[in-house]
Structure 1
Amino acid sequence: MNAAGRLAAFGAGLAVAFTAAYVTAAAVVPHTEVTATQTLGAEPASDHIAPTEQALPVSPLSPYPPGLSLAQDGYALSAVRAPGAPNDRATLSFTIAGPSGTPLLDYATVHDKQLHLIIVRSDGQHFAHVHPILDQTTGIWSTPWMWK
C-alpha cells in the first residue's frame, strides 16, 4: 500500500473512531448534564473571589493597559530606589502619592496582603511577585531586593 492509501485508511479509521465516540456519548451522557456543562463558562468570574472578600468594582475601559503607568487618576508612583547593579542585595522602596501629593497610608488588604508587586525584568526573562511592607509613618513601601 502506498503512502496515499495509508493516509486514507488512517483518516477513515479516525472518522470511525470519532463517530463511535460521539454515538456512545450521546447514548450514555444525559442531555441535562450536557446543558449544565455548556452554561458553566457563561457565569461571571465572581465565584473566584475568596468568600471573605468583596469584589472590587470594575472600572471603565482605558486606552492604556492597567498597571503600566507611573500616574493615573491623581495617584502617582514615586521614583523607585533599588540596588544599583545585578547581584547587589539592598532594599527596593517607593511611595504612592494620592491626589493631594502626600504618600498614601491607608490601603485595602486583598488576599492577606496590602500590596502585591510584580517586578518584570526589561527583557521579560525574569519576574518576581513580592509583598512590600508599608512604613505607616513615612508612607514608604520597601522589600529586600536583588536584581538578577
Structure 2
Amino acid sequence: MTMAVRWMGHLWQEPHPTTPDEINALEREWGVWFPDEYKRIVSTHQGMTPELPVFDVDQGTDVFNTLLTIHEDEKWQVYSARGAFEALKPHVPTGIFPFADTPGGQHICFDYRNTPAQPTIVLVTVEMDIYPIANSFSEFLEKLHD
C-alpha cells in the first residue's frame, strides 16, 4: 500500500477537481490508460504540490513542483498536461507523457514505451535527456522525501 501523499496548494489553495470524463478524454486523446492511483490523485489534487516534493534521479535529486492540470483553465495553461505534452512531443520519443513539472522547467512523465499497461516514471530535462525515476507511479510517490 502506498504511503498517503499530503498535497498543498500551489496554483490554488484548495483542491480544484477534474472530472472522470476529462481524465478519460485525455486518455483517449493520448491513446493510453493512466494508472488508477494517478487518476484518483489528479481528480482532486491537480495544480497542487506534494508536501514532501524531493525525488532522487540518476544525476542527483530534483523537486516535484506541480501536478499538471487535466481540467483546462486558460489562466493556468502553462501548467496544463496537454500544453506540456505539445511542447515536449517534437523532442521526445513517442510514448512519453508529462504529468508534473519541476521548478527548473523539467517534466516528470509517464513512459509507456516498454510497458504500455504499466508506465514507468521518467524525468525529461530541459535538454530533452530522459532519466528513469521509478518503475511505477505508486513507487514514485513512495520515493518522495524532504
Larger radius of gyration: 1
Task: Report which structure shows greater RCO (CA 8 Å, sep ≥6).
Answer: 2
TM-score normalised by L of structure 1 = 0.23
